[in-house]
Amino acid sequence: MNKGFSLIELVVSMAIMLPMLILILNLVPSMNRVHHTAHAITVSSQLGAQVMDAIVWQSRKTAADFNQNFTQLAMPFEAPFSQFKHTIADTNTPEIKTIAITVWKDLDNNGSLDSDEPSFTHKRSIVFYKGL
């Protein structure tokens, strides 16, 4: 009795497994792209939260000067996040400020948010209460 596989059985099994292997290998580049996009959005979210916290803290600290405008255009972060940029939009209304911070990974380093660049936007309203 001969134990083992014949050459025909091996060729047939390889012919069955080869298309599946090709499909799996075709998924690797797209999975890599999804991973990098998700990472960039996560970092953008964390950096935006830090900027928002600093603005909220500063606006509460200087409540007497609630008319301060926080608007900024395409500011880079310090290393190791220098590839990330952010803009700040401030409605600059007297009693309620609405701050929107957009952070993105500037892939082409042109200083503007393009449609293919991963981004995240934080919005928050800050109410100035003078008391009675």
Can you give the pLDDT at residue 122? 92
Residues of the chain below pLDDT 70? 1, 62-66, 94, 128-132
pLDDT at residue 125, rounded to an integer: 87
Q: Are 120 and 103 in contact (CB under 8 A)?
A: yes
Q: According to the model, what pLDDT value does residue 63 have?
A: 61
106 neighbors 84 (Cβ within 8 angstroms):
yes
- Residue 39 has a pLDDT of 95
The per-residue pLDDT for 58 is: 81
> pLDDT at position 127, please?
78
Q: Which pLDDT tens digit goes with each residue over 101-110?
A: 999 999 999 9
Say what the pLDDT of residue 66 is: 65
Q: Which residues contact 117 (CB under 8 A, 6 or more apart)?
A: 104, 105, 106, 107, 108
